[in-house]
Amino acid sequence: MKYYILFGPPGAGKGTQATSLRENYHLCHLSTGELLRGEIAAGTPLGLEAKALIDAGNLVPDAVVEGMIESKFNTVKDVEGFLLDGFPRTTAQAEALEGMLQRRGEKVTGVISIMIPDAMIKDRIRHRATIEGRADDAKDEVIEKRIATYHAKTEPLIDFYKARGQYHEVDGTGTIPEVAARLAALMAKLS
Ligand code: AP5
Ligand code: MG
């Protein structure tokens, strides 16, 4: 099984690019953000706990997302691998993922990082706010908080995965097809 991590700041284009990667490589796309929004929409206790944190631009507890991911690893069949989008997001989550994969005799195939500057993050998220209506896209201060959370808690994973020789980055600026072409070239090297 392949285990790809689609990495990058909020609004970098992870969800956008995941669609073709999922189809071209027969992967299960697992976005922890989408899974959490599903729990909120269904009104589950987990969703209720997560909503306040997400709406304020904070992360939900590590154990919550780790449990979601492991349960998918245990139940999803008939795919050639997983495309993790928005997970791991803290060093503790990255270590938990290593443990989960070790127990399965597997390891991370590669981290695919889509990188854009902070100013572009804001533009893209403000644009998406007019289309998708995500609560965490609606307020500038929440967007700022998500960017700050990314720099403080998630960016250290770049060095974590560089140290393991698993980190690969593409330029996320330019059009959606331009970024897709860069990702396709990278995937050809990884798979
Ligand atoms: P999550 O849903 O993962 O949000 P995020 O990381 O903030 O990322 P986004 O979904 O905002 O961005 P994206 O990279 O997918 O961009 P997209 O393709 O949509 O997480 C939400 C929240 O859940 C977190 O804040 C946290 O609270 C919680 N959470 C999730 N995972 C967690 C975890 N592991 N641990 C703890 N908490 C967790 O693109 C953005 C916009 O730009 C779109 O409108 C798109 O059409 C457009 N666009 C994309 N590419 C281009 C391009 N090349 N040119 C022009 N426009 C483009
Ligand atoms: Mg997304």
How remote is the CA of residue 107 from the centroid of ligand 1, in Å? 25
Residue 191 predicted with pLDDT over 80: no
Tens of pLDDT, residue by residue over 107-160, are 999 999 999 999 999 999 999 999 999 999 999 999 999 999 999 999 999 999
Is the preceding omega at residue 88 within 30 degrees of 0, hence cis? yes
Mean pLDDT score across all residues of the chain: 97
> Which residue's alpha carbon is nearest to atom 8 within ligand 1?
10
How remote is the CA of residue 105 from the centroid of ligand 1, in Å? 30
Based on the residue annotation, tell me whether 14 is a catalytic residue of this protein. yes
pTM for the full predicted model? 0.97
User: In what order do the strands lie in the sheet containing 167-171?
Assistant: 27-31, 81-85, 2-7, 110-115, 167-171
Q: Residue 34: which of 26, 24, 42, 25 has the closest Cα? A: 42
Catalytic position from the list 72, 122, 126, 134: 134
pLDDT above 70 covers what percent of the chain? Answer: 100
Count CB atoms within 10 A of the CB of residue 29.
19
Question: 182 in ligand 1 pocket by Cβ < 6 Å?
Answer: no
Question: 5 in ligand 1 pocket by Cβ < 6 Å?
Answer: no
> Which residue's alpha carbon is nearest to atom 39 within ligand 1?
13
> Which residue's alpha carbon is nearest to atom 30 within ligand 1?
33
Tens of pLDDT, residue by residue over 14-45, are 999 999 999 999 999 999 999 999 999 999 99
Question: 30 in ligand 1 pocket by Cβ < 6 Å?
Answer: no
